[in-house]
Structure 1
């Protein structure tokens, strides 16, 4: 079973003490490739550096998360464009809108999102999207770029039925995380994932966040890591009524097509 984690925050400082061991454990658990999330001016270059240290195994995104939208200046835009000149950077983002916490003012979020959509329209790379509690405005901004963008994935989908079908109607991809395993907040996803076409479904850990609550035993430090992707795909397959190998193979094929990844070495 070959798995690809499309969203791992491996530049997070919680991995500084044992990053190589984390990568080794992921390989042992069947994770053959990973896309490292770049979500700020600080961490997008770090994601690229990490990918370049592990060619063929790690890739990166480069972008600015809505939480950091205020940092998206002209200088930041130039930095992002320079990062995207590298082949290891396979998507624009993480970018989008987040009204749940509003860590950046909404006008700043809109400006940063707009500039990153423009970047994706120019370079043709896929979009790695974030949306939380901002669906109407998010869809309106995306609509402004109708016909100008390549493929898009809504990373870490946690929304409701209408949001899912709005995305699928546009042939966007859906990233499913361990949120699925959270009986408090993610129970509704158990039914919704049945409706995602196999060629639009991808899997991710969002490590170190969103540790699957159904893991037994839970790690003492409560840190999520890519080796737990196998647990997520097992739960996902059960909810979809599929064999685990089928769900894994379809997600891997969808991921390779989306990010234009070669076969794992």
Structure 2
């Protein structure tokens, strides 16, 4: 069986309440033998770290404040994240970045929160798990100020253009892909992105419970979960005209090296 690493799941989401063991077991039954829990707030990062600690070498977590949650950013936030990042199983700073699509937090606060996490990533020397939506220009202006000092970075759940992908690659960034790549209506443009990007610069994720793959037979499911990650790999294999085994092996190797697993 092929084995996979899911670099982004939202296991603290209320849709998974009281189902953690079942979700993890189903994932492992489908070859997903390593999963990274996404922290999107201080509290959520703490919860993710606690869950991950219960499943050594299977679950890991990130610690960060999503731009939607930037309004919760205060004088204690970075200290609290720093404490979490001292744990070996808390392997990345984020999810952090800018989201000017929803504007759930005021943009100046998003920017302040993001810059503080860029500085934290440099301080603790752990890679970045980045979020950018409808904010490409400003996101890059802020990030470029720190670029020479930054550890490795992955722009997760990438749904941008080929031009944007090229710019991220030129910066040395990696890109994370979800089930969005199988949505031939909304995200048709991602087909050329997948064909262009070298396999060793991409990682795969479900972003569960969101971004349900469209290439699942039956499509009876409404909620995404890490057990469905092979469908993301299947889409990449189809678009690149390579075997799904190669996708599984290469993306897992990349993720292990990137996150130092």
Q: TM-score, normalised by structure 1?
A: 0.96
C-alpha distance in 2 between matches for 1:250 and 1:194:
15
Task: Report the count of equivalent residues.
Answer: 260
> Which residue number in structure 2 is paired with residue 10 of structure 1?
11
Write out per-residue CA displacement over residues 194-217 of structure 1, whole angstroms, 9 at most, x where no aligned residue.
Answer: 111121110000000011122122
- Please state how far the C-alpha of 1:219 moved relative to its aligned partner: 3.3
- Please state how far the C-alpha of 1:21 moved relative to its aligned partner: 0.9
Write out per-residue CA displacement over residues 158-180 of structure 1, whole angstroms, 9 at most, x where no aligned residue.
Answer: 00111100001112111000011
1:227 aligns with 2:235: no
C-alpha distance in 2 between matches for 1:198 and 1:240:
9
- Please state how far the C-alpha of 1:19 moved relative to its aligned partner: 1.7
- Are the counterparts in 1 of residues 162 and 192 from structure 2 also a CA contact under 8 Å? no
Q: Which moved more, 1:233-242 or 1:201-210?
A: 233-242
> Which residue number in structure 2 is paired with residue 23 of structure 1?
24
C-alpha distance in 2 between matches for 1:177 and 1:63:
20
> Which residue number in structure 1 is paired with residue 169 of structure 2?
168
Instruction: Find runs of 4+ consecutive structure 1 residues off by over 4 angstroms.
Output: none
- 1:184-199 correspondence to structure 2 within 5 Å: 184-199=185-200
- 1:20-59 correspondence to structure 2 within 5 Å: 20-59=21-60
Write out per-residue CA displacement over residues 128-174 of structure 1, whole angstroms, 9 at most, x where no aligned residue.
Answer: 00000101111111111021111000000000111100001112111
1:95 aligns with 2:83: no
> Which residue number in structure 1 is paired with residue 160 of structure 2?
159
> Which residue number in structure 2 is paired with residue 248 of structure 1?
248
- 1:205-220 correspondence to structure 2 within 5 Å: 205-220=206-221
- Secondary structure of 2:164's aligned partner: helix
Gap regions ≥5 residues in structure 1: none
C-alpha distance in 2 between matches for 1:29 and 1:80:
32
> Which residue number in structure 2 is paired with residue 178 of structure 1?
179
> Which residue number in structure 2 is paired with residue 129 of structure 1?
130
> Which residue number in structure 2 is paired with residue 112 of structure 1?
113
- Secondary structure of 1:174's aligned partner: strand
C-alpha distance in 2 between matches for 1:67 and 1:40:
9
- Please state how far the C-alpha of 1:184 moved relative to its aligned partner: 2.5
Gap regions ≥5 residues in structure 2: none
- Please state how far the C-alpha of 1:105 moved relative to its aligned partner: 0.5
Write out per-residue CA displacement over residues 50-95 of structure 1, whole angstroms, 9 at most, x where no aligned residue.
Answer: 1100000000000000001111111111111111111111000000
> Which residue number in structure 2 is paired with residue 147 of structure 1?
148
Write out per-residue CA displacement over residues 198-254 of structure 1, whole angstroms, 9 at most, x where no aligned residue.
Answer: 21110000000011122122234x000000001110111101111111111100000
C-alpha distance in 2 between matches for 1:62 and 1:239:
33
